[in-house]
Amino acid sequence: MSRMSAPSRAAREHAERRLGALATPPGALGRLGGLAVQVAACQGQVPPRPLEDVRLTIFAGDHGVAEHGVSAFPPAITGAMVRTFLAGSAGVSALAAAHDVRVRVLDLGVDDDFADLDETTRSELTRHKVRRSSGAIHLEDALTPDELERALEAGAEVARDAIADGAQLLLSGDMGIGNTTPAAAMISAVLDLRAGEVVGRGTGIDEPTLRHKTDLVDQALDRCGPRRGDPREVLAALGSADLAAATAYLLQAARSGVPVVLDGLMSVACALVAERIDPGARDWFIAGHRSPEPGQSLALEALGLDPLLDLGMRLGEGSGAVTAVPVLRSAVAVLREVALLEELGV
């Protein structure tokens, strides 16, 4: 049974009327107008409240498949980048600081216990290690049923805690060498496609590595068999602890009536699975940007989402979602602050 409710129709209609009455030519605000209406509908309030409390969760984990030649980088980068997020000096850290977005890292199974870090540095890290590295999906399931449940609960809990603490907008990001392989497998399974249409170059692999990665995804899909039709089975067989947690985070936000900005391939793969688990979840999702990964565009299309930005970014970390935040704040500002045409006295 779905626990999902739709954004407020009354607020949507009210916001549309207000948008149409603003001191701007009709349609002149372009997509900012529709975005402002969506935020108002999600908040159930016109004009919408300013988006002051915006939070990103970066879902981090190691992936067994990364030991099988699918990435341009070694798995040790994952833990090193988690340390860089905590130090505030990663790509997403600069963007989050520029746009006043709070960052939390959820470690679902990075091969590093971060025990040498002091309390202050670790304060933005939540450790919920489901297992050390998810299973190599072409050979075995990523997760056992019990591990899947624990990962789902961990992801839902971060969203619940952030919302209880006042978050008005959530963002989802990812860090994990090799994670574009399970993300492509999840999208292929849900959309019933072969890997060749979905797999992309991730961190920048060459042609032979791309062929190898595509083969591994096809092997994983064949190994998964008819379980491909069940979104939870897709997470357990083809996903990972971090991707399962991100899926539950997106679902929890939607069920709590809080909008979420999606990022690149991993975030959108999870959104696609979330929508299959609980249809209607997508009404709470905003596509932050388009990634060059073909699977991300396919998943966005299947979700009926049009990304706000198309900057050729493929960093992950939530960087595209964070970059879209000022666009969202701009949308809210116009619906709040622009005068009405009738007030011009003409």
Ligand X SMILES: O=C(O)c1ccc[n+]([C@@H]2O[C@H](COP(=O)([O-])O)[C@@H](O)[C@H]2O)c1
Ligand Y SMILES: Cc1cc2nc[nH]c2cc1C
186 binds, among ligand X, ligand Y, none (CB under 5 to 8 A by kind): none
Sheet of 169-175, strands arranged across: 125-127, 101-107, 54-60, 169-175, 260-262, 285-287
Query: Residue 203, interface with ligand Y (CB under 6 A)?
Result: yes
Q: Binders of ligand Y: how many residues, by CB under 6 A?
A: 8
Query: Residue 81, interface with ligand Y (CB under 6 A)?
Result: yes
Three-class SS state of 66:
helix
Q: Which residue shows structure tokens 């056992």?
A: 144
Q: Which residues of 10-48 are buried (b: 16+ CB within 10 A; e: fewer)?
A: ebbebbbebbeebebeeeebeebbbbbbbbbbbbeebbb
In order, the DSSP letters of 95-113 are: HHHHTTEEEEEEESS-S--
Minimum distance, C-beta of residue 178 to ligand Y, in the bound complex (Å) = 10
Q: Which stretch binds ligand Y (CB under 6 A): 135-143, 185-193, 258-266, 309-317?
A: 309-317
Minimum distance, C-beta of residue 269 to ligand Y, in the bound complex (Å) = 15
Cis peptide upstream of residue 182 (ω within 30 degrees of 0): no
Task: Name the DSSP class of 230.
Answer: S
178 binds, among ligand X, ligand Y, none (CB under 5 to 8 A by kind): ligand X
Minimum distance, C-beta of residue 289 to ligand X, in the bound complex (Å) = 9
Using the minimum distance from each CB to ligand Y, give the nearer residue, 80 or 191: 80
Residue 317: active-site member: yes
314 binds, among ligand Y, ligand X, none (CB under 5 to 8 A by kind): ligand X
Using the minimum distance from each CB to ligand Y, give the nearer residue, 46 or 81: 81
Q: Which stretch binds ligand Y (CB under 6 A): 46-54, 219-227, 250-258, 310-318?
A: 310-318
Using the minimum distance from each CB to ligand X, give the nearer residue, 73 or 114: 73
Query: Residue 175, interface with ligand Y (CB under 6 A)?
Result: yes
Query: Residue 95, interface with ligand Y (CB under 6 A)?
Result: no
Query: Residue 121, interface with ligand Y (CB under 6 A)?
Result: no
Query: Residue 317, interface with ligand Y (CB under 6 A)?
Result: yes
Separation of alpha carbons 322 and 99, rounded Å: 7
Residues 6+ apart with CB under 8 A from 164: none
Using the minimum distance from each CB to ligand X, give the nearer residue, 80 or 334: 80
Q: Determine which residue in the list 37, 77, 130, 274 makes contact with ligand Y, applying CB under 6 A.
A: 77
38 binds, among ligand Y, ligand X, none (CB under 5 to 8 A by kind): none
Query: Residue 73, interface with ligand Y (CB under 6 A)?
Result: yes
Of 216, 220, 228, whose CA–CA distance to 190 is shortest?
A: 228
Using the minimum distance from each CB to ligand Y, give the nearer residue, 307 or 316: 316
Please check whether residue 331 is in contact with residue 39, taking contact to mean a CB–CB distance below 8 angstroms: yes
Please check whether residue 47 is in contact with residue 18, taking contact to mean a CB–CB distance below 8 angstroms: yes
Minimum distance, C-beta of residue 262 to ligand X, in the bound complex (Å) = 10
Query: Residue 265, interface with ligand Y (CB under 6 A)?
Result: no
Three-class SS state of 17:
helix
Give me 333's structure tokens. Answer: 């500002």
Of the residues 13, 140, 317, 342, only one is catalytic, namely 317
Q: Counting every residue, how long is the chain?
A: 346
For the beta carbon of residue 113, count every other beta carbon within 10 angstroms. 12
Using the minimum distance from each CB to ligand Y, give the nearer residue, 33 or 79: 79
The footprint of ligand Y (CB under 6 A) covers: 73, 77, 81, 175, 203, 315-317
Residues designated as active site: 317
